[in-house]
Amino acid sequence: MASKTKLTPADVVAHLAKIEDQFETLQILNEEGEVVNESAMPNLSNEQLQELMRRMVYTRILDQRSISLNRQGRLGFYAPTAGQEASQLASQFALEQEDFILPGYRDVPQIIWHGLPLYQAFLWSRGHFEGMKVPEGVNVLHPQIIIGAQYVQTTGVALGMKKRGTKAVAVTYTGDGGSSQGDFYEGINFAGAYKAPAIFFIQNNKFAISTPVEKQTAAKTLAQKAVSAGIPGIQVDGMDPLAVYVATRDARERAINGEGPTLIETLTYRYGPHTMAGDDPTRYRTADLDNEWEKKDPLVRFRKFLEKKGLWNEEQESEVIEQAKDDIKEAIKKADAAPKQKVTDLMSIMYEEEMPQNLKEQYELYKAKESK
Amino acid sequence: MAQMTMIQAITDAMRTELRNDPNVLVFGEDVGVNGGVFRATEGLQNEFGEDRVFDTPLAESGIGGLAVGLSLQGFRPVPEIQFFGFVFEVMDSIAGQLARLRYRSGGRYTAPVTIRSPFGGGVHTPDMHADSLEGLMAQTPGVKVVIPSTPYDAKGLLISSIRDNDTVIFLEHMKLYRSFRQEVPEEEYTIPLGKADVKREGKDISIITYGAMVHESLKAAEELEKEGYSAEVIDLRTVSPLDIETIVASVEKTGRAIVVQEAQKQAGIAATVVAEINDRAILSLEAPVLRVAAPDTVFPFPQAETVWLPNYKDVIETAKKVLTY
């Protein structure tokens, strides 16, 4: 290190503040749908802006219907997404088909918009192996249940792309709680060391189940964790679709130009519970906090923005809503029609080569049972 | 043919596969320019370049994640975990991820990964280097676990492991790395996974074993012969899945068996072998199947290895118990 004089405690604090100053929140649209950062505005056509809104509305309906279907017992595991539409969909909107998404368990919307058929997403929720038999050409992995694992895997995918010379990126998502995991750090650090084309998202919705982000870390921002890997980090208003889009697009650009990975923290909120498995957010969240964040709803501000431009009206919105409801109905029907899983099915997807002897024996046993 | 140590045979297998398949990638801590802490990857980076043989940051979990991700891009990763005692850092990537990738994706994705890692006692390594943890892996559906005991087996089994389209854990006993040389063909050849090898034929008792204990068992068999007992020594070579056919055929012939492992009695895979014999050949048994295993303590401090590790004397003693039951 340079021959600096030893830091006094006061210097150390000042140094930390200086780091934190580098992670201001990027915002383009405020809560009223007004452009507050003209210079950062993405170059999106009217049709693209409408398509992004369409996807956000559609996904809000998907969330409402999923919660309801879960309550009726027609869906299984479900992690609500309402509130995170800008964070999830505007980021996916900045990707290309050849980009590979490694989602967390709450990130089903991104892989649907990347090409996973809706009925398969429902089958995954129910727990059926056909759910994540991703169609060829759709570059996504199943939603990752082990928090952090998707981060180290993303680096592998990105390094693979770099070795293949593909102009594409690997993209992954975790939550605020996930940024405490070892795999989180290892993932961004490996990607940095290999200059791999990866984009790492932290969707900071303030709570990991009941644990507020302040109990995860003393760091003022989660974006600044990028410093430990020596890679760029940026904090964006995760309720602002345009800010999320710009940050993602820029990170993608840097990545495919061989400049390495980026960590993006989106400040967002989940209006619903952690999952539908009995979590009750009123135990740990105040109504005031909920209200505060409902005012920041990404749909509200983007709707206002588009309406002012004459690009959105009620009629268009109801069309999307009806379309979403119809699609969901169809998809659930298709999921209902999936054949019941048999133990022999599960055995046959274990290995590519011939089954090992133990499994072969068990296969015969279950085949006999199933033919009764 | 060439006289090779096991470590040379292992290097030769990797060289063969790096040549054969451009998707094969070798990576880990110090496997590149350094050629590995045991020289297992010596010369490989030089021959194939940094793009194929490369070092990683010091983080086992990250290495496991790299293997998953590279698999998703169509590569055939051969990562190294420097010592298998460090597997705990990467248990999720192996047991939670690689082992399940094909199943979870309904067969859409596959993890053709071979994790190489040294283990095994008798060379006075520091803490957490020598532990026999193959039992943890053998309990994981979705991975195969291979443990060679000779240079010839090591080469053929490693080539097969690398070519297997699912994840294989390839465990290399440190004491066997350079303890002896053997004729090993220079050309490529494979040995099927899941197939045991009868290293010595016999008719009075079956000694079923793997790893360094193969050599202890062979030594014991020689001693037993002097006393008029004919022992058959079966080297499992793959501890998951087991070669039940070979085990049962031997036990049906001899009517008596012991299972010999270096791991603690509550660990390893001996209990599974005993259970399989009980299930399938109880009517052939003249005596119960006994086990030779280490005491159920933590792996010993280096100076206590000699009194703790099972050796040929323990094999002789247990074999006699069964022979005179």
**Does residue B243 surpass a pLDDT of 50?**
yes
Whether this model's ipTM surpasses 0.95 comes out as yes
Interface test with B, best of A100, A153, A185, A348 (most B CBs within 10 A): A153
Q: Are A134 and A64 in contact (CB under 8 A)?
A: no
* Strands B205-209, B238-240: pairing kind: unpaired
Task: Spell out the residues 6+ positions from residue B286 whose beta carbon is closer than 8 angstroms to its own.
Answer: B255, B256, B325
Chain A residues whose beta carbon lies within 8 Å of the beta carbon of residue B105: 132-134, 141-142
Count of residues in chain B:
325
A96 and chain B in contact, CB less than 8 A:
no
Rounded to an integer, the average pLDDT of B185-207 is 97
Q: Residue written as tokens 């600096």?
A: A4
Which residues from chain A sit within 8 angstroms of residue B242, using beta carbons?
357-358
pLDDT in tens, A171-180: 999 999 999 9
Question: Nearest-CA residue of chain A relative to B92?
Answer: A149
CA-closest candidate to residue A120, choices A98, A95, A143: A143
Determine whether the interchain pair A153/B68 forms a contact, defined as Cβ–Cβ distance below 8 Å: yes
Q: What are phi and psi of B302, to 5 degrees?
A: -50, -40
Backbone φ and ψ of B18, nearest 5°: -60, -35
Q: Would the pLDDT of A338 be above 80?
A: yes
B61 vs A150: CA distance, rounded Å: 12
- Give B92's contacts in chain A (Cβ within 8 Å): 146, 149, 183
Distance from A56 to chain B by nearest Cα, in Å?
27
Residues 6+ apart with CB under 8 A from A81: A59, A62, A63, A88, A106, A108, A109, A270, A272
Helices (H), chain B: 6-20, 44-48, 60-72, 91, 101-104, 134-138, 151-163, 213-226, 244-254, 270-281, 305-308, 312-323
Q: Is the pLDDT of residue A170 over 70?
A: yes
φ/ψ of residue B120, rounded to 5: 105, 145
Write down the H helix ranges in chain A. 9-21, 46-71, 85, 91-93, 108-113, 118-126, 149-164, 182-193, 226-229, 241-256, 287-294, 298-308, 314-336, 343-348, 357-370
Chain B residues near residue A359 by CB distance under 8 angstroms: 241
pLDDT at res. B169: 98
Residue A5 carries which DSSP code? P
Please state, in angstroms and rounded to a whole number, the distance separating the CA atoms of residues A335 and A119.
Answer: 5
Task: pLDDT band for A5, please (50, 70, 90 cuts).
Answer: low
**What letter would DSSP give residue A217?**
-
- Helix/strand number for chain B, H first, E second: 12, 14
Tens-digit pLDDT profile for residues A199-231: 999 999 999 999 999 999 999 999 999 999 999
Is A142 known to be catalytic?
no
Model confidence band, residue B241 (pLDDT cutoffs 50, 70, 90): very high
CA distance A218 to B146: 45
- Report residue A10's pLDDT band, with 50, 70 and 90 as the boundaries: confident
Nearest Cα to B292, choosing from B197, B213, B224, B230? B213
Contact A160 B51 (CB under 8 A): no
pLDDT reading at A119 higher than 90: yes
φ and ψ at A203, to 5 degrees? Answer: -90, 100
Give the pLDDT confidence score for residue A1 in this predicted structure. Answer: 45
Which residue, among A152, A154, A171, A181, would best test binding to B if mutated, counting the most B CBs under 10 Å from its CB?
A152
pLDDT (mean) for B87-108: 98
Determine the residue among B108, B144, B146 to mutate to test chain A binding: the one whose Cβ has the most chain A Cβ atoms within 10 Å: B108
Residue labelled with tokens 């939670």 = B96
Note whether A155 contacts B64, CB cutoff 8 Å: no
Q: Give B-chain residues touching A152 at CB under 8 angstroms.
A: 61-62, 64-66, 68-69, 93
Reference A91, options A264, A256, A322, A294; nearest CA is A264
Cα–Cα distance, B308 to B82 (Å, whole number): 24
Task: Decide if A338 touches B, using CB distance below 8 A.
Answer: no
Contact A158, A198 (CB under 8 A): yes
Q: How far is B68 from chain A (nearest CA, A)?
A: 6
Of B57, B244, B245, which is closest to A190 when you measure between CB atoms? B57
CB of A159 less than 8 A from some CB of B: yes
pLDDT digits (tens, 9 = 90+) for A266-284: 999 999 999 999 899 999 9
Query: Mean of the per-residue pLDDT values for chain A?
Result: 96
Q: Are A29 and A243 in contact (CB under 8 A)?
A: yes
- Dump the DSSP string for A82-138: TT-HIIIIIHHHT--TTSEEE-BTT-HHHHHHTT--HHHHHHHHHT-GGGG-PPTT-
CB B105 to CB A182 under 8 A? no
CB-CB: which of A130, A356, A358 is closest to B106? A130
Kindly give, in sequence order, each residue whose CB lies less than 8 Å from that of residue A151, ignoring residues fewer than 6 positions away.
A172, A174, A178, A181, A183, A184, A186, A187, A188, A200, B65
Inform me whether the pLDDT recorded for B196 exceeds 90: yes
- On the question of pLDDT at A326 being above 70, the answer is yes
What is residue A6's predicted lDDT score, i.e. its pLDDT? 66
Which residues in B lie closer than 8 A to residue A153 (C-beta atoms)?
A: 65, 68-69, 72, 97
- Predicted confidence at residue A4, as pLDDT, reads 55
Q: Is A270 a catalytic residue?
A: yes
Cis amide bond preceding B241, omega within 30: yes
Residues from chain A that touch B67, judged by Cβ atoms under 8 A, are: 156
Confidence class for position B183, pLDDT limits 50, 70, 90: very high
Which residue in chain A is spatially nearest to B67 when comparing CA positions? A156
Q: Residues B274-288, buried b or exposed e (16+ Cβ, 10 A)?
A: bebbeeebeeebeeb
Which candidate from B75, B92, B166 shows the least CB-CB separation from A160?
A: B75
Tokens of A344: 């022999």
pTM: 0.96
The reply to whether residue A163 touches residue B110, judged by beta carbons under 8 angstroms, is no
pLDDT surpassing 70 at residue A2: no
| Closest-CA distance of chain B to residue A245, Å | 25
Spatial separation of the C-alpha atoms in residues B41 and B19, rounded to whole Å: 14
- Answer whether residue B309 shows pLDDT above 90: yes
Tell me, what's the pLDDT at A13? 86
Q: Confidence class of residue A7 from pLDDT cuts 50, 70 and 90?
A: low
Reading the block at residue A150, the tokens are 């998707």
Assigned token pair, B65: 């994640």
- Cβ within 8 Å, pair A155-B92: no
Cα A155 from chain centroid? 16
Q: Does A172 touch chain B (CB under 8 A)?
A: no
Spatial separation of the C-alpha atoms in residues A250 and B103, rounded to whole Å: 36
Show which residues of B are catalytic: 129
Question: Which among A168, A166, A175 has a CA at the least distance from the CA of A143?
Answer: A175
Tokens of B165: 């389209």
Asked if pLDDT for residue B176 goes beyond 90, the answer is: yes
CB contacts < 8 A, A to B, total 137
C-beta atoms of A350 and B51 within 8 A = no
The overall average pLDDT reported for chain B is: 98
* Chain B contact present for A346, CB below 8 A: yes
Q: pLDDT per residue over B263-306, tens digit each?
A: 999 999 999 999 999 999 999 999 999 999 999 999 999 999 99
Q: CB B69 to CB A146 under 8 A?
A: no
Set of chain A residues whose Cβ sits within 8 Å of the Cβ of B166: 351-353
Mean pLDDT lowest among A5-9, A56-60, B43-47: A5-9
d(CA B123, CA A223): 46
Per the annotation, the verdict on A284 as an active-site residue is yes
